[in-house]
Structure 1
């Protein structure tokens, strides 16, 4: 197999809080005015990404991995995570506030849902004036104080609201209470999991007039009640991979491209590139490809070195 950069058909999700930025800013094929998520790369059951280009077009990601796990995922990734693609990549458009939520850790998710936990990160691609993200507690808290706030509809009063702008980065370890605020366009990198405990939804009702389901009891022992340092600072040296988040599940760097740069792909791990600004010409052993803002590409571990050329910003994600 002559490996090449893999593009995938986006999986569009309608959400009560979604809008039209996925179409207007990222050129996704949305069909409604409430399109909240574009799943770019997924092996969540029922939502497995399908290859959109080259000789593997029409094959889903699970089948591609199964054909040669080490060549796709990399030797280290297979040793650590087995043959399941371990990450999920999304773009999210919040026209309205998302619910306040929390994700369980690996142990709790395994016990309750036979799933991975959900460690994740956000990169803010665009934010309207006044946009805020909710991340973590203002002060160290505890279950009793939190439960009292829930009973009195005052959970928001315990939490930190971060005004945000383009380029802001947040690392959300499992247990961190969080919510994306209205006006944010986010690139999200996370473990392969769709387990979310919704703890407050601003008393909104769905189109049938019903309050959305909450998972108050499930969340109680999933929450980290301590303050967290979730907002990250980072360098932006041109034509270099500047690490923003490094954790056991993924390493994410920003690559500000001004001319040329190399992705020195090894046989240890795959690389995913998410273009968050501009246009890039991607050159590999067998050919070239143009990728633009809003596109996500998987570089299989067996691909070899890749040259990037253009004026752009990319998120570069590997497992280190």
Structure 2
């Protein structure tokens, strides 16, 4: 099941965390528990099990499961590494969300805003594999776990292992609010506390701007960095 679909079922109260009876728990807590603990653990099992599965079951669409053989599944993943491909994007409202993506991406007008478009984040996006007339949706992380060298190249794989070390997404603040202040941990901390091999550094590319738009660089003069 795609991780975005898991999040939707969290929000609808249809799904709880692994082994927990917490359907009504705060959505963010369920997501964090999945992202930092469950998915990390499950990925280790997937690395060992996916190359040997007999069948793969796609349960993303309720009451309409799809199944492919393990051989076809593996062939689809290998094919993906030999050609350009795109992950399935998803869009989500947020605190700073704007109106730009609604117009540009032809999105649901009933939503209050869109803050994010996750466009190439294998940890959370999904991948579509087509077998004749049947389309199977899988977590794109399956590709990273099973074909890391072919996907990443030797040097990147040697540095990061079976991890896709870049996250591509759109952030929309037009007619919205300022972006949130984010503090990313040092590499040592994230390794010790979460078992992750790298922290996040951010680069921004401005694709569009309204009149009198501005960007804050650094902090104001006179800020006390010890506070």
* TM-score bracket for this pair, using the shorter chain length: 0.5 to 0.7
Query: How far does residue 111 in structure 1 lie from its aligned partner after superposition?
Result: 3.4
Structure 1 residues 53, 135: CA separation in 2 closer, same or farther (over 3 Å shift)? farther
TM-score of the pair, normalised by structure 2: 0.54
Deviations 1:178-222, CA, capped at 9 Å, x for gaps: xxxxxxxxxxxxxxxxxxxxxxxxxxxxxxxxxxxxxxxxxxxxx
Q: Does 1:143 align with 2:225?
A: yes
Aligned with 2:146 (options 67, 70, 91): 67
Cα distance in 1, alignment partners of residues 223 and 147 from structure 2: 47
Q: In the superposition, relative to structure 1, how do residues 81 and 129 fare at CA in structure 2: closer, same or farther (>3 Å)?
A: same
Unaligned 5+ runs, structure 1: 148-320
Cross-structure match for 2:125: 49
Q: How many residues align?
A: 142
Query: What residue number does 1:21 align with?
Result: 100
Contact 1:51–1:60 (CA<8 Å) still a contact in 2? yes
**Residue 128 (structure 1) aligned with residue 204 (structure 2):** no
Offset at residue 123 of structure 1 (A): 0.2
Q: SS of the counterpart of 2:212?
A: coil
Which of 90, 97, 108 is the matching residue for 2:189? 108
Of residues 111, 115, 118 in structure 2, which corresponds to 1:36?
115
Kindly indicate whether the alpha-carbon contact (under 8 Å) linking 1:9 and 1:40 is maintained by their aligned counterparts in 2: yes
Structure in which a larger fraction of residues adopt helix = 2
Bigger fraction of residues in strand = 1
Flag structure 2 segments of 5+ consecutive residues without an equivalent: 1-77
Contact kept, 8 Å, 2:122 with 2:144, in 1: the verdict is no
RMSD (Å), alpha carbons: 2.6
* SS of equivalent to 1:58: strand
